[in-house]
Structure 1
Amino acid sequence: MEFKTERLTIRPFTSNDLHDVFTIYNNDDTCKYLLHDKWTIENMHEEFNKKLKNRELTKETSLSLAVVNNTEVIGDLSVWYTSMKDTVEIGYSFSNDSSGRGFATEAVSSLVKTLFDTFTVHRIQANLDARNKASQKLCERIGMRKEAHFIQDFWNKNEWTDSIVYGMLHSDLDLRN
């Protein structure tokens, strides 16, 4: 699966993307609210190989996509089916160098449209650490609705954290056009 936006190409990862992706995930700020710690030289190949394998979205496999601006990978989009019928969850990470230029909004918005149109999913959701204000703003910019705020419901990196769930139906996308 590959698609383009005005400024970006969104495609499966290739082996040539390792350095750019390492730059994204070898950053404490980027990984602060993620489920994993920052990548190291020792684990980068193992972690990156997981992304290389996730080339197709099925009920059994997740999809990882590179967000490319010019020739540089500036972001990572992930999609997987949840246990609920026709529902997917999305995740995303972008390089600090690319922030503030609308790339994340452009990429995630395009991903959402593609998921509704190509995969005919019923619902898209994003579960995030409640402290991640930038991610909340992104969800809201693309038209997702804040549906839940759970208090200290998730144990991650040796602490209890709050979770926020954003959701969107295809009809929500139609309202934005």
Structure 2
Amino acid sequence: MIIETKRLSLRTFQEKDFADTFAIYKDNETCRYLLHDPWTSETAEDLFNVKISNSQLKRDQMLNLAVVFQNKIIGDLYVWYTDMRETVELGYSFNRAVSGNGFATEALQKLIHVLFEELDIHRIQVNIDSRNQASKKLCERLGMRIEGNFIEDYWNKGEWTNSLIFGMLYSDFLNSIEPPKRRT
């Protein structure tokens, strides 16, 4: 699967992507709000191989997509089905060195388009740590709405954390698309 945007390619992970992916996940700040600790030289290969094996979205299998910019992996998008019919959850991680360039917005807008238009998904959700302001702003830019604010609902890395649940229906997506400009 290869998905193209104006500046990016979204594709499944390949062996050659290890070093760039390790650079993303070995960063403490990147992993601060994730459910796992930063990758180490001892754990990285096994964790990376999971990303390679997640090459198709199935009811019982997550899909991982590498975000490629100028032949370099700058991000990881992950999608999995929830227990609810035609509903998926999204996750994402990007190399902090490229933040502020709109890459996450561009990649996720395209992925959302594909999920709704090509895979007939009804609803997309994102669950984030409420302290992650960058992720909150990203969800808002994508046109998602806050559907839940859970207080101390998740024990992670030795502390209780709060969760924000964002959601978007297919109808929301259709309303967020700009209509074509009319010729005069």
TM-score interval (norm. to shorter):
over 0.9
Matched with 2:30 is 30
Which residue identity does 1:97 align to in structure 2? A
TM-score by length of 1: 0.99
For the residues of structure 2 that align with 1:118 and 1:42, how far apart are their CA atoms? 39
For the residues of structure 1 that align with 2:119 and 2:128, how far apart are their CA atoms? 23
Secondary structure at the counterpart of residue 153 of structure 1: strand
For the residues of structure 1 that align with 2:170 and 2:2, how far apart are their CA atoms? 21
Which residue identity does 2:133 align to in structure 1? K
Secondary structure at the counterpart of residue 36 of structure 1: coil
Q: Note the C-alpha offset of 1:176.
A: 1.2
**1:62-101 aligned within 5 A:** 62-101=62-101
For the residues of structure 2 that align with 1:163 and 1:142, how far apart are their CA atoms? 18
**1:1-177 aligned within 5 A:** 1-177=1-177
For the residues of structure 2 that align with 1:176 and 1:82, how far apart are their CA atoms? 24
For the residues of structure 2 that align with 1:128 and 1:25, how far apart are their CA atoms? 17
The alignment-based identity, stated in percent, is: 52
For the residues of structure 2 that align with 1:2 and 1:82, how far apart are their CA atoms? 23
Q: Note the C-alpha offset of 1:89.
A: 0.2
Kindly provide the CA deviation profile for residues 4-34 of structure 1, in whole angstroms up to 9, marking residues without a partner as x: 0000000000000000000000101100000
Which of these two proteins has the greater Rg computed from alpha carbons?
Answer: 2
Which residue identity does 1:173 align to in structure 2? F
Q: Between Structure 1 and Structure 2, how many residues are aligned?
A: 177
Q: Note the C-alpha offset of 1:103.
A: 0.3
For the residues of structure 2 that align with 1:164 and 1:8, how far apart are their CA atoms? 28
Kindly provide the CA deviation profile for residues 105-149 of structure 1, in whole angstroms up to 9, marking residues without a partner as x: 000111111111111011000001000000000000011111110
Which residue identity does 1:64 align to in structure 2? N
For the residues of structure 2 that align with 1:6 and 1:97, how far apart are their CA atoms? 20
